[in-house]
A and B are shown apart, each in its own frame.
Chain A
């Protein structure tokens, strides 16, 4: 019950006694706290349990949908998307396709990035192309020509240099960039 009992904790294997240090004196918790989204420096306490994915990092493979509430006033809104006094219904791709054309660019970008692998992602892709946006396969961003400047096509006709407007999904805004565009890189 005295101090000698602590020696194997300080130096492994002392006195012929072996403890699992990771569970006795423990570990540096900063990486565990980070994996939980807990910022141990700041006093701001975020609520991590509301979006807790799993007790183990290895099984926390994806975000989980937190508790949320959609007020009625957010649903069944009449007189939008040319729906007249009835709220718009989205229950057939043919009819809905027409409605997609009524969305602003940002709404299309949102639907494209938020709902991967779904019908709406395909429809927004088609609509954005109609509006002369092109999707860059490697950069994974949408871009369109800067209307004020004609790009210069390269000798080999495989690319062009010019000024383009990109939509940046991280900052959620359009930004202008000079860029060399390879035609094979867009779709």
Chain B
């Protein structure tokens, strides 16, 4: 059959590529003949060849003696595919289409295999194919594809490089753990692959960040879905440990990615993963100097970095849904009717399960609250630059009264999530941290909450304290704010009833 013929051709290729270097003239001649003699003359031919070559490679992995070189066929296929990206004539169709077609065939074979074999499905050959494609591409792209002698082809490949990674990321998104749990651990290993993750983080103009953010939210989403307060499955805990190490490595190498996408990442982290949340929120741009947060003489307004708004890659305005207008109008001209509109827009139509500390369901749209909070913070920092500091560091300003209104009118649950959203912005020294530090302190000391004041204060203390009792790292903005509140003479915390009622907390506060 045609499939058997193409399998024979592929077998010849596997033998050839083990005896000769990939750049050898004979190798190039072999590929040229594959094209001329009709094996790869069109898309259908390629699909047939690719499908049978991949099935052959996966079977050869399954049948090989585990101690031998089990990946020879897979690696040969990878090398052939990377060569085809260079050598095929892309006048009729683009390299992007070719690569997408190739990954589509892989997806077909992969999902058939996983569907047929269920729990005896083995992810390793597919992992190896993706891993080797990344390695072979990396070997080719060194120094802007300097190995490619033909200048026109070299130029095309330089322009295609970004698409290669983004198309790769798009298909990785297809294989996300929630869709293919049988590929979950291979998927996390690919996401953090040394030839993929650093590349996606460093593509010019952050060209890989959108897709990469999507992949990280896929991972966090999977964990959020299957993390329960107590009976989290061991395998999910292993996923968590892997995610923790990967995010720590990102925080070390390119913290800016976490800094500028903290809002979207936090929208997908289960609230009980407090240390993971702290790692993301504690990230700071490489160039920002972090003063000692415990320095009693620290004065945020004097810190130069606190005059610069935090860079934001994922703009929360896209998540404001129908509330963008009411919120922006309120900031311009505050009114109680607008406040009511905003408040009513924050409640969910149905209960949502959530694994929180002390709660298991949410009635409010936490993502929307986070979006509004960050959006107002961004606008406040812009307003300060447009007019004056007094325009926003002022408890009569609409920027402040919006939060005060939500907290005054809102249920305890709403108070909690608004204060959590504010605490998420207390990060490294930047203009947003400076302003939210002002907001949360004035909410804490405000005497306009009347009988609700102790509730508000207790929620603020709980929100800040939960981020401090967590193992390091601790967010600079959180520590500075908490030291402010602890240090203030106006109200010694330990005397507050809600602290005296809980001896464990009272002890911690006294120690602190």
Where the two chains meet, the residues of A that have a C-beta atom closer than 8 Å to any C-beta of B are: 1-7, 9-11, 14, 17-20, 22-29, 32-33, 35-36, 38, 45-57, 59, 64-69, 71-72
Residue of B238, B276, B357 near A6 (CB, 8 A) is: B357
Residue of B229, B241, B254, B413 near A1 (CB, 8 A) is: B413
CB interface residues, B 216-267, toward A, < 8 Å: 227, 229-230, 232, 237-238, 240-246, 248-250, 252-254
Top-6 shortest CB links A-B? A26-B275, A5-B358, A55-B242, A69-B142, A1-B416, A26-B471
Please measure, in the bound complex, the distance between the C-alpha atom of A59 and the C-alpha atom of B193, giving whole angstroms.
13
Q: Is the CB of B192 within 8 A of A55?
A: yes
- Of the 9-residue stretches B109-117, B164-172, B194-202, B319-327, which lies at the interface with chain A? B194-202
Residues of A near B357 (CB, < 8 A) are: 5-6, 9, 19, 24
Q: Is the CB of A45 within 8 A of B286?
A: yes
Where the two chains meet, the residues of B that have a C-beta atom closer than 8 Å to any C-beta of A are: 135, 138, 142-143, 146, 188-189, 192-195, 197-198, 201, 227, 229-230, 232, 237-238, 240-246, 248-250, 252-254, 272-276, 278, 286, 357-359, 412-413, 415-416, 455, 458-459, 461-462, 465-466, 469-473, 498-499, 501-502, 504-505, 508
Chain B interface, DSSP helix/strand/loop, else mixed: helix
Q: Is the CB of B248 within 8 A of A29?
A: yes
Residue of A2, A57, A72 near B498 (CB, 8 A) is: A2
Minimum C-beta distance from A47 to chain B (A):
5
Residues of B near A46 (CB, < 8 A) are: 252
Please measure, in the bound complex, the distance between the C-alpha atom of A33 and the C-alpha atom of B193, giving whole angstroms.
18
| CB-based nearest A residue for B254 | A49
Residues of B near A35 (CB, < 8 A) are: 245
Please measure, in the bound complex, the distance between the C-alpha atom of A50 and the C-alpha atom of B135, giving whole angstroms.
12
Q: Is the CB of B249 within 8 A of A48?
A: yes
Residues of A near B275 (CB, < 8 A) are: 23-27, 29
Q: Is the CB of A49 within 8 A of B194?
A: yes
| CB-based nearest B residue for A26 | B275
Residues of B near A67 (CB, < 8 A) are: 138, 142, 194-195
Residues of A near B272 (CB, < 8 A) are: 19, 23-24
Q: Is the CB of A25 within 8 A of B502?
A: no
Q: Is the CB of B462 within 8 A of A66?
A: no
Please measure, in the bound complex, the distance between the C-alpha atom of A40 and the C-alpha atom of B250, giving whole angstroms.
14
Residues of B near A24 (CB, < 8 A) are: 272-275, 357, 470
Residues of B near A26 (CB, < 8 A) are: 274-276, 278, 470-471
Minimum C-beta distance from A86 to chain B (A):
17
